[in-house]
Amino acid sequence: MNFALNEEQTEIRDSIIRFARQELSVSADEANGFPHAAWRKCAEMQLMALPFPEEYGGCGADFLTTVVATQAFGYACKDAGLVHAVCTQILCGMQINSFGSEELKHRYLPSLVRGEKIFAQAITEAGSGSDALGMRTRAELAEGGYLLNGTKIFITNGPVADVVLVFAVTNPEVSRISGISCLVVEKGMSGFTQCAPMAKMGLDTLQNGELVFADCPVPAENLVGSAGQGAILFNESMEWERCLLPAAHLGTLERIFETSVAYAKGRSAFGQPISKFQAVSSKIVEMKMALELGRLMLYKVATTKDQHKRAALEASIVKLYISEALKKTCLDAVQIHGGYGYMKEYEVERDLRDSIAATIYSGTSEMQQNIISRFIGL
Amino acid sequence: MKVVVLVNAVPDTAATPEIAPDGRSVLTEQLEFVLDPYDEYAVEEAVRLKESLGAEVIAVSIGGDVARKALRCAFAMGVESGVLVRLPGGMELTGRGRSFCLLPTLRELSPDLILAGKQTVDSDDAQVPERVAELLDFVHASAVSQLTIGEGARLLVNREIEGGHLVIDLPLPAVVTTEKGINIPRYPALPQVLKAKSKPLHEVAPPLDVDLTAGWQVESVTLQHTARKQQIFSGDIITGVQQLAELLRQDA
């Protein structure tokens, strides 16, 4: 077993860290609304192009390299909202690339990889979050395609999206597993309304909001995959998502770990650096362990996905472990920084607010535990 | 037109170096190395000549694996090939030694223009391009902030001097070192970083018939710790601001 990254991955990582530190240094709290300028820079850097075939303008990188790049991005970019928005873009593209028709790929992937169009995926509804497949948004067969009706909520990139992958019930007669489909809806289609972004506890630059579909006609060729394939698409995309988002989180965790080490070594109390106090150092030791252990499992999931194998169990473990570790790391970092940690100036409080969402989106920690226990056979 | 750009890797300026136990060198193992920021200007300028005039651009460096990294950074920015004069592991050379070792490669490449950063940011060495110019018998202009290729194998360069500009007309072949402000170096997009790996990088051995002894040695290296003054002005705000302004005028 070789636990080292290859030269290409190291260079991608270093390039992203340098790019993010120098070009995306604006404090996220100062930003107002969707960070369009930073988004453009990320697009020029071709961050969003990484895992896609070159024929659509992508870089042709494998998933592990994409994960390493995302980790570097989460490490060096302090705007977790921007990082999440970019991840969402990549994840939408992966669904189109893996399940979409040739026509859909040619229509959407080039503008997705160039960041010219912003993509979102709409699954969650007011009445179904964890129970995602219990959705009620309906896509009825109509002339030339489908008629979409329903409301999605909390949709990441939703308020600013040009293209949305909407999951809806196409056949309520069959089981939930085979009655859901994924449709591409574009901004400006009749009957499609994007509501204003919702105010949140953290991830200030990330735009989340309600999407309303009222007799919205969707052409049949906008179906991603085949009719009734929605749940399969959903399950596959969750494996990618539960690896890519934790990659960004692990990067953030590493940054906070380094910030905490530097502060604990530089801050003195009772005549010695506070890092010499065991109550402080043990918190940092926990951070380091989470970083090292999380990384092993993260790369395992990414490598498994590159081998085109299922990794639902491992992805749930990674998602649960890293998101909870990030939340704890942020909380401990604030505590290590004391009064300064509670002040906005030191920036760790923002990471804490951002981190709370990590244990909720993409399946709550409780849902991940359910999934893991189901795999164990409990 | 053939352009050679000399590149050098230096420790990331954000990194904190540690002094080796012998007190005469810096521990490099833990340091991140990057393409020297002044060399970045030179690479950017060379790549622009490639894009505007179709110039052939070759990056040249000297050293070990770290120098290789500098070449690959140049590749990611758009340079198409490179030559590394590979020094045996751990071998350190002075500017004089480096210039002599680069010479056979530069003679063989026979460029019209050699570009390089005006100095390295780590040791503030500013010797190799000038020494190379002398050894090759090329004309030379240092710390250039603007470069234009003129008619009939000539070059117009702009140097910022105290209180003004100096415009120099040079014949080619020439050596020009780049100053901050000549351009804004590009960030290589990720596909270029990926492509950099497959660009041709030739390694050559240094010449054997050169006396590489420095004739001098480093006595000691120390890190400078700047203590903060932490001066607080008491009294009313008007006086305080006046005192602060006075202090800034005198000491800053």
Shortest Cα–Cα distance, B205 to chain A (Å): 24
Residue A2 inside a domain? The answer is no
Task: Mark whether A331 and A348 lie in a shared domain.
Answer: yes
Question: Which residue, of A228, A258, A286, is where some domain finishes?
Answer: A228
Among chain B residues, the shortest Cα distance to A16 is held by B190
Return the pLDDT at B179. Answer: 93
- Reference B4, options B139, B154, B108; nearest CA is B108
**A221 in the same domain as A263:** no
Residues A360 and A235 in one domain: yes
The tally of domains found in chain A comes to: 3
Average pLDDT over residues A81-100: 97
Answer yes or no: is pLDDT of A222 > 60. Answer: yes
Do A108 and A158 sit in the same domain of this protein? no
Residue in A210, A236, A239, A241 annotated catalytic: A241
Residue A241 bears catalytic tag: yes
**DSSP string for residues in A257-310:** HHHHHHHHHH-EETTEEGGGSHHHHHHHHHHHHHHHHHHHHHHHHHHHHHTT--
Whether residues A214 and A291 share a domain: the answer is: no
Q: A250 vs B30, which has greater pLDDT?
A: A250
Flag whether A149 is in a domain: yes
Q: Which domains does chain B have, with CATH numbers?
A: 2-219 (3.40.50.620)
Conformational region of residue B2, where left means phi above 0, alpha means psi within -120 to 50, and beta covers everything else: beta
> Where does the pLDDT of residue A313 fall: very low under 50, low under 70, confident under 90, or very high at 90 and above?
very high
The reply to whether A174 falls in a domain is yes
Q: Are residues A301 and A372 in the same domain?
A: yes
Cβ(A202)–Cβ(A80) below 8 Å: yes
Nearest to B70 by CA among B196, B242, B225, B249: B196
> What are the distances in angstroms from CA B68 to CA A4, A273, B7, B169, B185?
19, 40, 10, 34, 20
- Alpha-carbon distances, residue A311 vs A36, A182, A302 (angstroms): 34, 22, 9
Q: Quick check: B14 pLDDT over 80?
A: no
CATH number, residue A106: 1.10.540.10
The whole domain housing A81 covers 7-118
Are B189 and A23 in contact (CB < 8 Å)? no
Give a yes or no: residue A285 inside a domain. yes
What is the rounded average pLDDT of the residues B130-158? 92
CA atoms A276, A280, A286, A291: torsion sign = negative
Q: What are the residues of chain A with a beta carbon less than 8 Å away from any beta carbon of chain B?
A: 7-8, 11-12, 14-16, 18-19, 23, 44-47, 49-50, 59-61, 69
A214 in any annotated domain:
yes
CB A147, CB A162: distance < 8 Å: no
Residues A362, A238: one domain? Answer: yes
Q: What is the sign, positive or negative, of the torsion defined by CA atoms of A265, A269, A271, A277?
A: negative
Q: Is A271 left (phi over 0), alpha (psi -120 to 50) or beta?
A: left
DSSP for residue B232: -
Looking at residue A27, its pLDDT comes to 57
What pLDDT score does A193 carry?
Answer: 97
Answer yes or no: do A265 and A303 share one domain. Answer: yes
The residue from A118, A142, A171 where one domain ends is A118
pLDDT in tens, A25-51: 765 555 568 999 999 999 999 999 999
Model ipTM? Answer: 0.79
Q: What is the rounded CA–CA span in Å between residue B192 and residue A122? A: 33
- A61 lies in the same domain as A28: yes
Do residue A236 and residue A367 come from a single domain? Answer: yes
Q: Is residue A25 part of a domain?
A: yes
The residue length of chain A stands at: 378
Q: Summarize the confidence of residues B183-212 as an average pLDDT.
A: 89
- Of B187, B189, B194, Cβ closest to residue A61: B194
Residue to substitute from B194, B225, B228, interface A, most A β-carbons within 10 A:
B194
* pLDDT(A115) > 70: yes
Residues A337, A252 share a domain: yes
Cβ neighbours for B242, distance < 8 A, ≥ 6 positions apart = none
Q: Residue B162: is it exposed, middle or buried by C-beta count within 10 angstroms (0-12/13-18/19+)?
A: exposed
Count of helix runs (H) and strand runs (E) in chain A? 10, 10
Whole-model pTM: value is 0.86
Residue A1 counted as domain residue: no
- Judged by DSSP in three states, A136 sits in coil
> How far is A244 from chain B, CA to nearest CA, in Å?
18
- CATH number, domain at A156? 2.40.110.10
- Last residue of some domain: A228, A263, A290? A228
Q: Which residues of A touch B193 (CB under 8 A)?
A: 8, 11-12, 15
pLDDT higher than threshold 60 for residue B202: yes
Q: Determine the pLDDT at residue A77.
A: 96
- Cα nearest neighbour of B189 on chain A: A45
**Residue A18 falls within a domain, yes or no?**
yes
User: Which residue in chain A is spatially nearest to B68 when comparing CA positions?
Assistant: A7
**Looking at residue B226, what is its pLDDT?**
73
SS3 A92: helix
Instruction: Note the pLDDT of residue A246.
Output: 98
Question: Which of A22-36, A177-191, B5-19, B142-156 reaches the highest mean pLDDT?
Answer: A177-191
- Regarding whether A349 and A260 lie in a shared domain, the answer is yes
pLDDT tens figures, A262-296: 999 999 999 999 999 999 999 999 999 999 999 99
Q: Is the pLDDT of residue A218 over 60?
A: yes
- Interface A-B, measured as beta-carbon pairs within 8 A, has a size of 42
